[in-house]
């Protein structure tokens, strides 16, 4: 697996079943960038603590609400109309690229916060996904497991 979070995220997302699992989690209210970061931290065997979880969530919140979600909302709103309008289809693709760039920036910020957290015993690192998913974890355990398996290559 790649050592930087962006490359790790791209490689993980490209694995079978991960896109569907991530979209299911996103629809349930989870932040996919945060979960990809959690997968990266689990893969690196970084201990999950409440303080670290809160630090990551606080970093994600404003950027997600003010930048990523508005871009996604416009892109989604244009989906049906773009099927019939080639100009709007092109604009929608540009919006998708902006959304992806905003997520890339967010992943870079998450990596900067977490990159120096030390690796520990592998047995203590497996709580990241559930902790970061919060209330969306329980009803979406299968999706979290798909993400965890993809991240570890199993």
pLDDT in tens, 28-64: 999 999 999 999 999 999 999 999 999 999 999 999 9
This prediction has a pTM of 0.90
Q: Which residues of the chain have pLDDT under 50?
A: 1
CA atoms within 13 A on the CB side of 91: 15
Residue range of the domain that includes 111: 5-152
Q: What does the pLDDT read at residue 55?
A: 97
Under 8 Å between Cβ of 46 and 125: yes
Q: What does the pLDDT read at residue 15?
A: 94
Q: What does the pLDDT read at residue 124?
A: 57
Domain count, the chain: 1
CA distances from 13 to 57, 69, 90, 132 (A): 21, 19, 24, 17
CA dihedral 50, 114, 63, 152 (to 10 degrees): -90
Q: What does the pLDDT read at residue 90?
A: 97
Cα–Cα distance between 151 and 154 in angstroms, integer?
A: 8
């Amino acid at each position: 697996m790649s050592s930087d979070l962006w490359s790790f995220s791209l490689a993980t997302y490209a694995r079978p079943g991960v896109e569907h699992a991530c979209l299911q989690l996103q629809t349930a209210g989870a932040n996919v960038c945060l979960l990809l970061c959690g997968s990266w931290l689990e893969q690196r065997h970084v201990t999950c603590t409440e303080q670290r979880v809160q630090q990551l969530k606080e970093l994600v919140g404003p950027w997600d609400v003010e930048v990523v979600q508005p871009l996604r909302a416009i892109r989604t709103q244009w989906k049906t109309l773009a099927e019939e309008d080639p100009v709007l289809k092109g604009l929608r693709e540009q919006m998708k690229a902006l959304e992806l760039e905003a997520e890339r920036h967010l992943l870079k910020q998450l990596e900067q916060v977490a990159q120096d957290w030390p690796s520990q015993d592998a047995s203590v690192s497996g709580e990241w996904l559930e902790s970061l998913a919060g209330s969306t974890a329980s009803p979406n355990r299968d999706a979290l497991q798909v993400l965890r398996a993809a991240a570890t290559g199993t």
